[in-house]
Amino acid sequence: MAKSVLSDARFHSEEAAFEYVEAQLWPNGPVCPHCATAGEKIGRLKGKTTRHGLYKCYACRKPFTVRIGTIFEDSHLPLRLWLQAIHLLCASKKGISTRQLQRMLGCGMKTAWHLGHRIRHAMDPGKASPLGGAGKTVEADETELTKSRKSKRPAGHRRGDNMRVMSLVERGGAIRSMTLDHSAMGVIYKHVHKDSRLVTDKAAHYKFPPVASHESVDHSKFEWARDDVHTNTLEGFFSIFKRGLIGVYQHMDQKHLDRYLAEFDFRQNTRAKLGIDDAQREAIAVQGMKGKRLTYRASGSAEA
Ligand SMILES: [Zn+2]
């Protein structure tokens, strides 16, 4: 029988957890987070009372660990618990609920909630540069998240109150999803490179998009695909996201929707079909923990 991944030392020993995270964030050895010094001027502090993974920089004379400047910095939780939570989120195609995390990690509800959302935040690669470009095709599509029929709607709920999501995918490249607050065209302006070829359904939603060319299929005329003009990649993605919403998360607060989308985008962009296994996906997620600390605060945390 193959060895269970859950028996790996990084999930059980704090020392192994530090070694694992250091290998991901410092592939060429420790780097001082205060002055960027690396190499011989970094010393390892060892001793019975010394904290795990403690180093000293002999250039700026400050001590540090790999947690500084990452999402782990403000946390008092053992690193091995973080790695367990990251692994669970990376390996679960439809996500993992706060309650499930709480039960599996044996931690409190609030801790599980914060862990989940910080990891989702770290999975977001950022949305600064547009998708597509010359010779590239970008699919765009929208979807509405309807509440399950079992859940009670608040009085005065209208169809327009449903949360809306818009996703873009560069064919052969990355997917990018976001809450749709305003018009789909606003998203195209901001997130699609002007030299791209754009493929959508519902042509009426996308009048004169600022791209090199635009083709669409008309679902209202029972046309779903014409050669490579289709939005099937996104239809498939929406279907996984909705199964996660109904089966796992049950409720997503609008103000946290973008973080859930980042989680599903992350798994889609590192999916098994691209030759990435659960362990590699986890390593990529850990690499993303760097530099995410301040922006998480700025985005505002609150109880769900
Ligand atoms: Zn230093």
CA–centroid distance, residue 35 to ligand 1 (Å): 4
pLDDT value of position 92:
93
CA–centroid distance, residue 38 to ligand 1 (Å): 8
Between vectors from CA 161 to CA 236 and to CA 252, what angle results, nearest 5°?
55
CA–centroid distance, residue 32 to ligand 1 (Å): 5
CA-to-CA distance for 278 and 268, rounded, in angstroms?
A: 12
CA–centroid distance, residue 122 to ligand 1 (Å): 25
Sheet holding 63-64, edge to edge: 42-44, 55-57, 63-64
Q: How do residues 129-170 score in pLDDT, each as one tens digit?
A: 999 999 999 999 999 987 655 555 556 666 567 889 999 999
CA–centroid distance, residue 141 to ligand 1 (Å): 48
pLDDT value of position 214:
93
Report the chain's C-alpha Rg in angstroms.
22
CA-to-CA distance for 278 and 177, rounded, in angstroms?
A: 22
CA–centroid distance, residue 17 to ligand 1 (Å): 23
Cβ count within 10 A of residue 277: 13
pLDDT value of position 34:
94
CA–centroid distance, residue 66 to ligand 1 (Å): 13
* Helix or strand holding residue 191 (H, E): helix 184-191
CA–centroid distance, residue 28 to ligand 1 (Å): 16
* Of the candidates 236, 287, 246, 285, the residue with the CA atom closest to the CA atom of residue 263: 285
CA–centroid distance, residue 53 to ligand 1 (Å): 16
pLDDT value of position 82:
96
pLDDT value of position 298:
45
CA–centroid distance, residue 107 to ligand 1 (Å): 35
Residues in the chain: 304
pLDDT value of position 152:
57
Buried b (16+ CB within 10 A) or exposed e, 83-104: bbbbbbbbbbebbbbbeebbee
Q: Is the distance from CB of 42 to CB of 56 less than 8 angstroms?
A: yes
pLDDT value of position 296:
44
CA–centroid distance, residue 202 to ligand 1 (Å): 56
CA-to-CA distance for 196 and 236, rounded, in angstroms?
A: 22
Q: Is the distance from CB of 10 to CB of 80 less than 8 angstroms?
A: yes
CA–centroid distance, residue 64 to ligand 1 (Å): 9
Kindly give the parts of the chain with pLDDT less than 50.
Answer: 294-304
Between vectors from CA 220 to CA 216 and to CA 214, what angle results, nearest 5°?
10
CA–centroid distance, residue 34 to ligand 1 (Å): 5
User: Tokens for 212?
Assistant: 């090199």
CA–centroid distance, residue 204 to ligand 1 (Å): 57
The pTM for the full model equals 0.89
8-state DSSP, 196: S
